[in-house]
Amino acid sequence: MITIRKANVDDCPLILEFIKGLAEFEKLSHLVVTDVKTLEQSLFGERQAAEVVLAFLDQRPVGFAVFFHNFSTFLGRPGVYLEDLFVKPEQRGQGIGLELLKHIARIALERGCPRFEWAVLDWNEDAIRFYKRLGAEPQSEWTTYRLSGDALKKLAQS
């Protein structure tokens, strides 16, 4: 049986384990610098940056999703942005990812959010097919840009 629940501060070691699993899958393990303490502060501290839900299969932790609110100026309302979705490889294909997405979709509607958005790596064809089956539409007219590291510092100090 699949169950989904909101994470709490005691789940930070498990959240970190899932983050590392996702990074390994995405071939980005070298970019993971967070630790349990940072997650505790960022997710459950004074200014909570995101929310996490955990998936369990027969009471065993098997996946997670991290999401936060964004804002549409055109709609004048917040939306939900899915930062990460991860299911352990050995549990994929059992509906766990779908249950995580359904859970967040319900949260979005309960909070009056008209949008639920996320990004997917262009090489992740399984995920792309899965999202399209749900009715999600790629937003190909937008290109994501990112400032980080020295470029971010340079802009901030200019």
- The residues carrying an active-site annotation are 131
**Under 8 Å between Cβ of 4 and 54:** yes
**Residue keyed to tokens 């958005």:** 117
Rg of the chain, C-alpha, whole Å: 16
Distance (Å, whole) CA 40 – CA 32: 16
First to last CA, the chain: 54
**Under 8 Å between Cβ of 52 and 1:** no
| Burial bucket for residue 69 (CB in 10 Å: 0-12, 13-18, 19+) | middle
**Under 8 Å between Cβ of 65 and 87:** no
